[in-house]
Amino acid sequence: MSDPVLLERPADHVAVVRINRPDARNALNMEVRRLIADHLAALTEDASVRCVILAGGEKAFAAGADIREMADADPIEMMRRNAFRLWQQIAIFPKPLIAAVRGFALGGGCELAMHADIIVAGDGARFGQPEIRIGIIPGGGGTQRLPRAVGKFKAMKMLLTGDIISAQDADAMGLVSEVVPDAEVEARALALATQIAQMPPIAARQIKECVLAGQDMSLHSALMLEAKSIQLSFASHDQKEGMAAFLEKRKPGFEGR
């Protein structure tokens, strides 16, 4: 049998972490969650990788948690699984992360996509947090990340009804970065990843850090973080290279140092 999570290297400085459980619509069982977390931990330390794509299959990015695996679990068993730690491994991934979403991104699949920095959705993609329909609430950040992405009122409607929305509606409410034809999703995600991978990786990591940390700070504190980060960037070789290339009217060669 194929591995339930695959690691691919489609271009220089770009990696793809692909969920590969087509028979289960890429449901996120504990093995898949652990493998995603392990791959991202390894890619954090891999200096050759500057941008990562999270992908699924043609019919499902990830259709939610594996209900069969949790239906009979008790609270202590759920605590021992410690899924929160695995979600945190994704949340703290410091490099740019792009979700390439085709088909269903429901429940944990929608939450997984929301851990990304950019979401490229196919025009046939479907998003939702339907946990309420099976008697539970989202457990991978849905009650927190969704309101931050789309606002309280849109989020509450999705969370309390469990309704599934189209890629077009997700785009209109700000849940995705862009919508492209289904057949072009992965090519577009790869083009974006390749473009980002050509940027200075230290600056990319600082941008991500400032945006994510700043969301939970006061504006004054967040602006202070930004000010310190831009000051720090002047210690990098890439800053010198980028500005020299601009003045010399040539393409820069960023090295990540």
What is the number of domains present in the chain? 2
Asked whether residue 26 is domain-assigned, the answer is yes
Catalytic residue from among 56, 108, 128, 141: 108
Tell me whether residue 65 is one of the annotated catalytic residues: yes
Which residue is associated with the tokens 């210690």?
Answer: 235
Q: Do residues 109 and 62 touch, judged by C-beta distance below 8 A? A: yes
In the prediction, which pLDDT does 77 show? 85
How far is CA 162 from each of CA 15, 106, 157, 172, rounded to the nearest angstrom?
A: 33, 10, 8, 18
Residues 182 and 82 in one domain: yes
What distance in Å separates the CA atoms of residue 53 and residue 115, rounded to the nearest whole number?
A: 12
Q: Which residues contact 85 (CB under 8 A, 6 or more apart)?
A: 37
Catalytic residue from among 27, 111, 125, 155: 111
Mean pLDDT of 190-199: 97
Three-state DSSP class for residue 28 = strand
What pLDDT band is residue 1 in, cutting at 50, 70 and 90?
low
Tell me whether residue 149 is one of the annotated catalytic residues: no
Q: Is the pLDDT of residue 79 over 90?
A: no
Question: Is pLDDT larger for residue 70 or for residue 10?
Answer: 10
- Domain boundary residue, one of 155, 179, 197: 197
What distance in Å separates the CA atoms of residue 106 and residue 121, rounded to the nearest whole number?
A: 13
Residues 211 and 112 in one domain: no
Three-state DSSP class for residue 175 = coil
| Mean of per-residue pLDDT scores for the chain | 95
In the prediction, which pLDDT does 81 show? 85
Q: Do the bridges between strand 60-62 and strand 14-19 make them parallel or antiparallel, or are there none, so unpaired?
A: unpaired
Tell me whether residue 108 is one of the annotated catalytic residues: yes
Q: Which residues contact 189 (CB under 8 A, 6 or more apart)?
A: 53, 55, 98, 99, 100, 120
User: Tens of pLDDT along 94-122?
Assistant: 999 999 999 999 999 999 999 999 999 99
What percent of the chain is predicted at pLDDT more than 70?
100
Q: Which pTM does this prediction carry?
A: 0.94
Asked whether residue 170 is domain-assigned, the answer is yes
- Domain boundary residue, one of 154, 178, 197: 197
Q: Do residues 124 and 102 touch, judged by C-beta distance below 8 A? A: yes
Q: Do residues 153 and 147 touch, judged by C-beta distance below 8 A? A: no
How far is CA 47 from each of CA 41, 61, 120, 197, 255, rounded to the nearest angstrom?
A: 12, 27, 25, 11, 10
Catalytic residue from among 99, 131, 141, 170: 131
In the prediction, which pLDDT does 204 show? 96
**CATH code of the domain covering residue 240:** 1.10.12
Residues 82 and 178 in one domain: yes
In the prediction, which pLDDT does 158 show? 97
Catalytic residue from among 65, 83, 193, 204: 65
User: Tens of pLDDT along 128-178?
Assistant: 999 999 999 999 999 999 999 999 999 999 999 999 999 999 999 999 999
Q: Smallest Cα–Cα separation from 89: which of 149, 20, 43, 147?
A: 43
What distance in Å separates the CA atoms of residue 5 and residue 33, rounded to the nearest whole number?
A: 9
What distance in Å separates the CA atoms of residue 39 and residue 53, rounded to the nearest whole number?
A: 12
Residues 147 and 127 in one domain: yes
User: Tens of pLDDT along 234-257?
Assistant: 999 999 999 999 999 999 999 989
What distance in Å separates the CA atoms of residue 160 and residue 138, rounded to the nearest whole number?
A: 11
In the prediction, which pLDDT does 248 show? 94
In the prediction, which pLDDT does 68 show? 84
Tell me whether residue 111 is one of the annotated catalytic residues: yes
Residues 79 and 100 in one domain: yes
Which residues constitute the domain of residue 240? 201-248
In the prediction, which pLDDT does 155 show? 98
